Amino acid sequence: MSNLNHEVIGGALVLKPSRRIDSSSAKAFEDDANALLDAGPKLVVVDAADLDYISSAGLRVILTTAKKAKAGGGGLTIACAKANVKEVLAVSGFDNIFGLHDSVDVAIAALARK
Amino acid sequence: MVSQLDMSLANDVQEVGRVIDALEAFGEENGIAPEEALRFGLALDELITNIISHGLAGRGEATISLLIEHDKGVLRAELHDDGLPFDPLTADIEHPDGDIDDRKIGGLGVTIVRKIMDRLDYRREDGFNRLKMEMKLKAA
């Protein structure tokens, strides 16, 4: 059973991790995201509204999730990132790779256009 | 007033969660903004994860100790470990580029540490890595 908050909106899988994705919780996120991706849509939005913190171990699992989504013909993007999370995404260049959006709706529309 | 948080860590990546929990509580007690405590915690997370994943890889028992101090608008930490020598000040880091298919994460942790910390001081001494670091807090 997945502990990762998620829902399917407009044909996209919206993942809503809470608090932190650090090296002690990254594996659980990866396992949950993989299972949800196997069973659901391949368009993925990471809704970061409740996420206070992400480390490079967290970025690694976002990247593996994105690769899996892409291999399934979909893609991944990020919405509603807070300042701390944005900083890490910017340092890594992930903001450019995945795109940052101000709302889940805008993120879903951006994925659908690709 | 100077307040301190002293922790001894096991050689297990799950310890990172405990460090950040403790740092959040420490920040709250000391009136530090949660985002700033977490930012400092992120740098410590990256360093401790490096030590456990690389410096101590394949080892069981090991010594990792962490001392955190808050004093006059500055957060300081001292991190000691008896793993392989690793100096995050001089470590080579890959530049982040490439698209999703060939992107690697290696080295990113060190980049994050250098960005967050205002001072870093590394010494290898008596078989230990001894890293001192400092982050200035933004005026409340």
- Name residues whose C-beta falls within 8 Å of residue A96's C-beta, 6 or more positions apart in sequence: none
pLDDT in tens, B101-133: 766 666 789 999 999 999 999 999 999 999 999
DSSP E strand boundaries for A10-107: 12-16, 19-21, 43-47, 51-54, 75-79, 100-101
- pLDDT tens sequence across B51-98: 999 999 989 899 999 999 999 899 999 999 999 999 998 887 666 666
- How far, in Å, CA of A11 to CA of A74, rounded? 11
CA distance B38 to chain A (A): 7
Which is nearest to A27 in space by CA: A68, A57, A72? A57
Please give the model's pTM, rounded to 2 decimal places.
Answer: 0.91
Shortest CA gap B7–chain A (Å): 17
pLDDT in tens, A24-63: 999 999 999 999 999 999 999 999 999 999 999 999 999 9
Distance of alpha carbon B97 from alpha carbon B104, whole angstroms: 9
Written as six digits, the tokens of A12 are 């996209």
Enumerate the residues of chain B whose CB falls inside 8 A of the CB of residue A91.
96, 108, 111-112, 115
First to last CA, chain B: 17
- CA atoms of A46 and A85, how far apart (whole Å): 12
Structure tokens given for B68:
């955190």
